[in-house]
Amino acid sequence: MNKPFNHTLMMMRTLFKRDWIKYLIWVIALLAYAASGAGKFELAMNSKATAAPCIVCLRIRHWLRSLVLQP
């Protein structure tokens, strides 16, 4: 077998034709999950009690990144 990816596109096309509804449901579910997380994060950042540790963590992360990326 000298061409290991021979007929890969044909096989993928067949799988997409057969299971396109499943793939569409997975994409919609993934987008809904991501959107729900964004809403929760926005709600958590409204409170100063929960926003302060996040800001401290982001500052530390930025500081660490600047240490690593210095020339």
Give me the pLDDT at residue 71, please.
53
Both structure tokens of 35? 């959107």
From first to last of the 71 residues of the chain, give the pLDDT tens digit. 578 778 888 998 999 999 999 999 999 999 998 888 777 776 766 766 666 777 777 788 777 777 776 65
Q: Give residue limits of the domains in the chain.
A: 8-68
Give me the pLDDT at residue 18, please.
93
Give me the pLDDT at residue 44, please.
67
DSSP string, 9-68: HHHHHHHHHHHHHHHHHHHHHHHHHHHHHHHHHHHHHTSHHHHHHHHHHHHHHHHHHHHH
The pTM (predicted TM-score) of the whole model is: 0.49
